[in-house]
Amino acid sequence: MKKLELEGRIYAVREILEQNRTINSVAVELGLNRSTISYWVRQCVEHGLDGLNRRQQGLAYPGEFRVLVIQDMQVNNLSYREVAAKYNIGTHVTVIKWNKIFTKQGVEGLMTENKGEKPTGRPRGRPLKLDREEMKDLRKENERLKMEVAYLKKLNALVQEKEK
């Protein structure tokens, strides 16, 4: 997705607030998503031009702040985007992650300094290298499972036909 420096974000917000242009027209002109520009407008209205500055990546939010944000969101029935704009959080995705942590782990989960859940499974990157024998075994098993699925589908169709 296209990103704009601070000057571009200020331009977009001023076009909407001062020149009375629509969010859609500015979004088309700049080649951006309208929800992104809408977010910038909310940030600017809520926090002034400072609201358009991106928060430094890697900067952790304190646990008490996270709890406050999630509680405010729930009590006042705010959307992720609204609460991100209200508290000048870089992106609503951060609030989504916090809410997920809160749902699974409660307040204690938000009080830790982790940045979300640990990824599961094998790391991204190059696929695992398998020797020829392992690959041959996997292909055989795959073929066997395909046949088993086909057999079960036919069996299920026969059972349903018999029940009619």
Average of per-residue pLDDT across 7-17: 89
Q: In a 10 Å sphere around its CB, with 0-12 CB exposed, 13-18 middle and 19+ buried, how is residue 20 labelled?
A: exposed
**CATH class label, 1-54:** mainly alpha
9 has a pLDDT exceeding 80: yes
Rounded to whole angstroms, how far apart are CA atoms 12 and 36? Answer: 10
pLDDT of residue 119: 53
Least confident of 40-49, 115-124, 138-147: 115-124
Contact yes or no for 12/4 (Cβ under 8 A): yes
Give tens-digit pLDDT for 137-157: 888 999 999 999 888 888 888
Which pLDDT score, from 0 to 100, does residue 37 have?
87
Q: Count Cβ atoms within 10 A of the Cβ of residue 38 and give its class: 0-12 exposed, 13-18 middle, 19 or more buried.
A: middle
In this prediction, residue 120 carries a pLDDT of: 57
Give the CA angle between residues 122, 123, 126 to the nearest 5°: 105
Confidence (pLDDT) at 35: 86
Residue 52's closest CA among 39, 65, 64, 33?
39
- pLDDT tens-digit series, residues 71-116: 999 999 999 988 888 888 878 888 999 999 999 998 888 887 655 4
Domain boundaries, the chain: 1-54, 57-116, 131-164
One-letter amino acid at 91 equals: T
User: Distance between CA 10 and CA 41 in Å, rounded?
Assistant: 9
